[in-house]
Structure 1
Amino acid sequence: MKKLVVKDRSLCQSCLTCEIACSEAFYKNYSDGTSCIKIGNKKDDSLDVKVCNQCGICAKKCPEGAIKENAKGVYIINKKLCTGCMTCVDVCPKGIIAKVEEKPVPSKCIACGICVDACPMGIIEIKEA
């Protein structure tokens, strides 16, 4: 299985470079809520870096069967089958499936590595399990 892993959250500088790179890859620009990786704060005000662990909850809950696991263990949204119902966005436990009003289909992490390459602190990596 291929997935993103945060090696050391304490090294994150909240520069948002990973968020910006992800958003620009999917949507060609950056705005809040368009990235499939999120940098924010927990309830105790400590830093949180949320990445997709390819748990598959979105696929299990998709009423159209539009999200399928590929051979590398990455869940991919089939844009032809997706109706834009937003169930995947609502059920994602990390809140990191992005949906932009102008686009009919949400975006989820496909473990492409763009955020890994963009992070100046090198705290994100792709793991093959």
Structure 2
Amino acid sequence: MAERMGFFTDTSICIGCKACEVACKEWNQLPDDGFVFEATSYDNTGALGASTWRHVAFIEQQPVWTADGTTGDGDGDGGEKPFQIGPDGRWLMSSDVCKHCTNAGCLDVCPTGALFRTEFGTVVVQSDICNGCGYCVPACPFGVIARREDDGRAWKCTMCYDRLRGGLEPACAKACPTDSIQFGPLDELRERAAARVAELHALGRTEARLYGESPDDGVGGMGAFFLLLDEPEVYGLPPDPVVPTRNLPAMWRWAGAAALTMAGAVALSFLGSSDRLLGRGGPR
């Protein structure tokens, strides 16, 4: 088993160039998304999906002036925190991708074995085995995996499994000009990310936080985690993701215990009926 590999995406240095999107599509020969103009931003892909395995989000934030003359966070909770921005607002940019969860719901529910865990710890769909059942789609707490309309099969990021097997880094990380997308051994990336957060905090960027690096979260830790400059919801990420199949082992144990209890009750009932039929039910 090879060392577990992963992505650390530092959104604080993402410039929104979309080189990662282009490299992903070119290497994996992904079809276009219809070229639908998203009028609210410079976003031309909209979201992760069957044909978009890397998606660069553009989030435009307008400042809210507070009573003390600073720009606040505008969340309406009364405890406005000053942004590290000027009076014209700021852009948040983030290159999103499949999280390659430690506890992957998509992997748990696949009935054909089309989804499998590679020797690098990543989760990959084998398109030639996928039957298009779609069970994996609602099993993903991030809405990453999707089916294509033309053939119904499920698709998502493979972390460029073919490149990894050849000793190469994924295309998106290779193309990123600012090293916002970093690839490497997952434990090493976590250490690097913690140091980066400490560095930003020392510079006064106290809003910097990590998302998905902890093995104690609802998906057992993500193989692709992020440094964010605001709450996860701002980036379209669930604040407390939980894999839907997390409780499956306990459910199967309870189901087994219930089945045994029912079988015992049926057996006792059958024995009681046999006794009455044979006249061994005692005095009447």
TM-score normalised by the chain length of structure 2? 0.39
Aligned to 2:233: none
Point out the structure with the larger helix share. 2
Q: Which residue of 2 aligns with 1:49?
A: 95
Q: Which moved more, 1:97-106 or 1:71-80?
A: 97-106
State the alpha-carbon separation in 2 of the partners of residues 73 and 37 from structure 1. Answer: 19
Larger radius of gyration: 2
Q: Quote the offset at 1:28 in angstroms.
A: 4.8
Q: CA deviation at 1:82?
A: 0.7
Report the AA paired with residue 172 of structure 2. C
| CA 41–127 in structure 1, closer or farther in 2 if over 3 Å, else same | same
Which of 117, 122, 131 is the matching residue for 1:69? Answer: 117
Relative to structure 1, the CA distance from residue 99 to residue 121 in structure 2 (aligned partners, 3 Å threshold; closer, same or farther) is farther
Q: CA deviation at 1:96?
A: 3.1
1:55-94 alignment, distance < 5 Å: 55=101, 56-94=104-142
1:1-129 matched pairs, under 5 angstroms: 1-6=4-9, 8-31=10-33, 32=45, 33=49, 34-41=51-58, 46-55=92-101, 56-97=104-145, 99-112=147-160, 113-129=170-186
Number of residue pairs the alignment of both structures matches: 128
The separation in 1 between residues aligned to 2:141 and 2:58, in whole angstroms, is 16
Bigger drift between 40-49 and 115-124 goes to: 40-49
Cα-Cα RMSD: 2.6
Q: C-alpha separation between the residues in 2 aligned to 1:98 and 1:122?
A: 28
Q: 1:4-26 CA deviation, whole Å, 9 max, x = no partner?
A: 221x2021121211112112222
1:19 counterpart letter in structure 2: E
Partner deviation per Cα, 1:19-77 (whole Å, 9 max, x = no partner): 12112222355433422122114697743332223102221132333211011111121
2:172 is paired with a residue whose SS is helix
SS at match of 1:49: strand
Q: Gapped runs of 5+ residues in structure 2?
A: 34-44, 62-90, 161-169, 187-284
* Superposition deviation, residue 88 in structure 1: 2.6
Please say if residues 50 and 96 of structure 1, whose CA atoms lie closer than 8 Å, have aligned partners that are also in contact. Answer: no
- Shift in alpha-carbon separation, 1:95–1:42, aligned structure 2, 3 A: farther
Mapped contact 1:5–1:53 kept (Cα < 8 A): no
Structure 1, unmatched stretches of 5+, are none
Q: Answer 1 or 2: higher relative contact order, Cα 8 Å, separation at least 6.
A: 1
More displaced stretch, 119-128 vs 101-110:
101-110
Identity %: 30
